[in-house]
Structure 1
């Protein structure tokens, strides 16, 4: 959380636990961005193609649909995409003797890369409560662990997450919310000043001063005492203090921080209900842009990583993202069909190929 102290700001550390706690658990904007991306991307199914032909009955297709006894394919990929947004890394372990029989998502903060002599990973360590299990490569060099990561300019092994890039916006947003809460707890003003107007230079003793502070704190502060009249003894005068409208206007600051968070994740602010952004003409265009610019590249990247990883155990197979099944992209699909229908100079075979239809 952003704290002021000696003229400098203090920011949340960029470790996984701090980012997950301050960003995902405590910040509604970052939480919603991560949920939107993970759920939307997981809703785009994968299809398995063998030698260019779609095969729903292939063992790899069945494995992707039901990767383990506890999760469906969508649930597994939702965990993968969510981890990618929080930590910049997502890990999937294949379990089986000769060919993978189960796929499991591993928690990002528990996986460590064990580099070999060449500097590239030769094994992985999964650490839980001080205990670790080493996952090594197979005899033929195949890796039973797939790492999906977002590019990091300063790290060869681990990725850079959108949440880390948005950390300062998250801190500012959280700090504004905490400050507003403190204002509500104190009736939206910095209380006031109690002036002792004694004559001849008299002043309160230390005991009287502490007793008066305790009485004010217990009897007149907090939301339950808001508006309660204060009873003063002779020689006492209450001078109320107030905040200026500019000092109390944290809404604009929170919206600016929220837009910064949304920008880092690639989520149009309009989809989050943040006012002040007229970048898109309407909600439908914002949603289409979200799918085209954020979700589609992410899903294609995951499909390509799955292909490169599992092809060593399922030769000739390719995993593709079935974006044709996404309702949000249907208007663009309809427009493509209309253009192909009007293109009389194309053969039926060319139309099918351009539309992505088999046969």
Structure 2
């Protein structure tokens, strides 16, 4: 019995899409079923097809994670800044394998590709000594009777480790997901169709170049005395085409045709084969899902910002800083319980190069505000 809920792109394993037909008129055609294939939304699938195969997704993830990791964090106890707080020392060197920048860059990368990031703390003598990131695809959430996470199961090969949830357990950061109570939604999943379109266009163009940059054609059998190819003649012709004229090493080789055979090239107009615009449109959708202005990635068209500086400022204000504040707030609450004292982590906006022009404008306005005292001016600009 057929599954009524099976979607068109759900094809059983081993099913061949290639369909060969022989028409009564002597026309030989080789056609493919027009069914779409979509990348899965798992962390492994998005990481492999997006970050590791698609240059736009790769650059967008690197751009956001590196920019966010470069913004230093400040520690406050109440309203007093503590430059010597042990939390800052821990974040500067989370563990023996990673520095502070590498740690935060990987954390933001997990959030962008998975929608989830997991931080584990290693304690020695009751004090937190190291912080470690756990790969999202190795984590399984164990729910309690009330439906809330009770513990996390971390699996590496045959090794399984159970970690408790809550303030004393694993820190789970996640992006908003409208249909899941426990897991986050990755931005790249929203651009899944654009990602597959971009990768498919690149694969098509590569295959076209391997075929001497020419589309396929058809062999037409029209003998003077009429009739069709026999089964043996058809199989022999198909074998000769596969072995003698397929692949990049045989591109451009002329066909040797016997009597009654004629080659008809199937060409498409540049308008029909405008893969450049299709790739640029898909690239813009991928950049949109991540919140990166296309101008910063070098995508032509739809540059809604007047200049590069304005696009860079919008990138920091609308994409980078919200992710930093989200992460800093989660780390503050989790580490406060670990250290037994309230600590608040905030980004040092004075060190954000993308906001230099904006900061200069604020200082200029404060300088001209004669009705404010020096102390009030310092408070207004964040000092």
TM-score over 0.5 (shorter chain): yes
Q: Report what 2:297 is aligned to.
A: 272
Please state how far the C-alpha of 1:58 moved relative to its aligned partner. 2.0
Please state how far the C-alpha of 1:222 moved relative to its aligned partner. 3.4
CA contact (8 A) 2:168 2:337 kept: no
SS at match of 1:297: helix
SS at match of 2:197: helix
Choose which of 107, 114, 119 in structure 1 pairs with 2:142.
114
**Could you say if the C-alpha distance between residues 6 and 193 of structure 1 is closer, same or farther in structure 2, counting changes exceeding 3 Å?**
closer
CA contact (8 A) 1:90 1:149 kept: yes
Is 1:193 aligned to 2:218, yes or no?
Answer: yes
Q: Report what 1:206 is aligned to.
A: 231
Q: Gaps spanning 5+ residues in structure 1: where?
A: none
- 1:198-254 per-residue CA deviation (whole Å, 9 max, x = no partner) reads 232344333333222332333333333333333333443322221122221111111
Please state how far the C-alpha of 1:116 moved relative to its aligned partner. 2.9
d(CA) in 2 for partners of 1:14, 1:235: 51
d(CA) in 1 for partners of 2:297, 2:93: 32
Q: Report what 1:133 is aligned to.
A: 161
CA contact (8 A) 2:294 2:303 kept: no
Is 1:32 aligned to 2:59, yes or no?
Answer: yes
**Could you say if the C-alpha distance between residues 120 and 22 of structure 1 is closer, same or farther in structure 2, counting changes exceeding 3 Å?**
same
CA contact (8 A) 1:189 1:243 kept: no
**Could you say if the C-alpha distance between residues 124 and 239 of structure 1 is closer, same or farther in structure 2, counting changes exceeding 3 Å?**
closer
Superposition pairs of residues 226-237 of structure 1, within 5 angstroms: 226-237=251-262
Is 1:183 aligned to 2:208, yes or no?
Answer: yes
**Could you say if the C-alpha distance between residues 202 and 299 of structure 1 is closer, same or farther in structure 2, counting changes exceeding 3 Å?**
same
d(CA) in 2 for partners of 1:334, 1:356: 13
**Could you say if the C-alpha distance between residues 209 and 115 of structure 1 is closer, same or farther in structure 2, counting changes exceeding 3 Å?**
closer
Q: Report what 1:48 is aligned to.
A: 75
Matched residues, number: 353
d(CA) in 1 for partners of 2:33, 2:318: 42
Q: Gaps spanning 5+ residues in structure 2: where?
A: 1-7, 10-16, 18-31
Alignment root-mean-square deviation, CA = 2.1
**Could you say if the C-alpha distance between residues 247 and 312 of structure 1 is closer, same or farther in structure 2, counting changes exceeding 3 Å?**
same
TM-score normalised by length of structure 2? 0.86
